[in-house]
Structure 1
């Protein structure tokens, strides 16, 4: 990636944009930087991650040729109950970025980008002791090696290169993705985290809504039902066979086949 171009295009909207050849985890690096006073909207991009993490402590495979980045946000003025929307906001930015290179993608609640039913990207948000949020995004860009394993629930992996009409350029993708993320986050923060237009755009692109799902919950039996709605705080509402609604704020959602 062209670090000079990235800084030229993105510094201004972002306080800093750094590019490193390799690191353990961009999220871990920015969590550490947050404790040292790194400013709001600091971005870090890595050519390679050797200890990337997904949700619930899982490893995140980061093969060469992907786009791995994290952004440190200090969303002053946004109530804590609205902060989880940063994850969903990143999903919308990913959908828009995929569309820019001619790829139709959808979202699996809360944090997966799907192309043709396979996973092309994931999002992980982590809070810091000083109430900042580190938002990490891993996007598969180049064709994947054969040894990349399926994700949670057996979700097959894919990449933009498998679907785009032309080979995607990672520098251009980084500029587009961080640009979309900035525009969405600025508006969301300006509305104190209550952005009806964002909710509707997420709903319109969420392939989870309206379909049968199994939700794997920590320390509890799986929840079976239909993904019925998305609450204003980003919670998924699952309706079981008896017609009872269950709010789900965290869990692994598996899309089930429609009978």
Structure 2
């Protein structure tokens, strides 16, 4: 367990007028920060409202999975975004944006070798174990609730593997230079705000703002042979060759031709680039 989050320091660094966020709160425990912010959004919460929990009892991942959130061990936060200048079809770019902010912060701040696994996982260490996950939920009216769960302190025994059997890990277990969660939250949210501002200025165009190139640079899925477990209990085998401007993973299938997938669990099989 790490030191408790310093609410005053977080607000001083991140909340207007000195910072880019409208509001920020830290709660000792909740079911899900994403669920709480969905309710707050419906009640009129402002763009760039942040909620952080020391513990989640019903943390959410993609496809209704549970995200284990032990007290004081990680960063469990959600951000309400209302990018009204961005067309609805470009809102999925928020997942790419969050991934780039997360991986760049972890690498620069802690020295941990981290990469992205399409679409929303942070993998760390030589074994490429799962260290963080991202969940972006469109809630209507051009609003999105973005959730990030990052394992910071060493995990307790019995944390289950992720999709495709990915073992869990944490920054501490991967030799992080520090595990100061307050510092990490500040750095992560500032990086997110900077990327978000550029993305909005480009009306959500991931090419124009450089987001797509940055995501591709950090995405370890590219160049690998993969199995994609698709909705409806089907699967696709092939090589991941690109992430397109809609954020879809482009697969060169074993059966020939290319296919872009927008949802599914990706299992890394082996490198095809040596």
Residue 195 (structure 2) pairs with residue 181 (structure 1): no
| Aligned partner of residue 168 in structure 1, secondary structure | coil
- Aligned to 1:28, the other structure's residue is in SS state helix
Rounded to whole Å, the distance in 2 between the matches of 1:171 and 1:232 is: 33
Mapped contact 1:95–1:104 kept (Cα < 8 A):
no
Aligned counterpart, 1:131:
142
TM-score using structure 1 length: 0.97
1:42-57 map, 5 Å: 42-57=49-64
Correspondence 1:163 to 2:166: no
Deviation, 1:165, is 4.3
| Aligned counterpart, 1:98 | 106
Partner of 1:3: 7
Distance 2:79 2:31 in 1: 16
CA distance in 2, matches of 1:23, 1:149: 21
**Structure 2 partner of 1:190:** 201
- Displacement after TM superposition at 1:153 (Å): 0.5
- Using the alignment, how far apart are the partners of 1:233 and 1:112 within structure 2? 18
Task: Provide the C-alpha distance between the structure 2 equivalents of 1:166 and 1:217, rounded to a whole number of angstroms.
Answer: 38
Q: Which secondary structure does the structure 2 equivalent of 1:257 belong to?
A: strand
**SS of 1:208's equivalent?**
coil
CA distance in 1, matches of 2:271, 2:194: 36
Query: Does 1:144 pair with 2:151?
Result: no
Tell which deviates more after alignment, 236-245 or 46-55.
Answer: 236-245
Structure 1 residue ranges without an equivalent (≥5):
none
**Distance (Å, rounded) in 1 between the aligned partners of 2:195 and 2:177:** 27
- Alignment partners' CA distance in 1, 2:271 and 2:196: 35
Of 217, 237, 248, the match for 2:250: 237
Q: Are the counterparts in 2 of residues 54 and 124 from structure 1 also a CA contact under 8 Å?
A: yes
Task: Give the aligned CA root-mean-square deviation in angstroms.
Answer: 1.1
Question: Which piece of structure 1 moves more, 213-222 or 10-19?
Answer: 213-222
The 10-residue stretch of structure 1 (160-169 or 88-97) with the greater mean CA deviation from structure 2: 160-169
1:159-191 deviation per Cα after TM superposition (whole angstroms, max 9, x unaligned): 011123433100000001101111101110110
Structure 2 residue corresponding to 1:110, chosen from 119, 122, 136 = 119
Give every structure 1 segment of 4 or more consecutive aligned residues whose post-TM-superposition deviation is greater than 4 Å.
Answer: none
Shift of 1:35: 0.3
CA distance in 2, matches of 1:92, 1:8: 24
Instruction: Please identify, of 201-210 and 93-102, the stretch whose mean Cα deviation from structure 2 is larger.
Output: 93-102
Mapped partners of 2:87, 2:258: distance in 1 = 25
Verify the 8 A CA contact 1:35 1:130 in the aligned structure 2: no
What is the CA–CA distance in structure 1 between the aligned matches of 2:199 and 2:85, rounded to whole Å? Answer: 11
Gaps of 5+ in 2: none
Conserved? CA contact 2:84–2:142, under 8 Å: no
Q: Distance in 2 between matches of 1:212 and 1:166?
A: 33
Question: What is the TM-score when the length of structure 2 is the normalising length?
Answer: 0.92
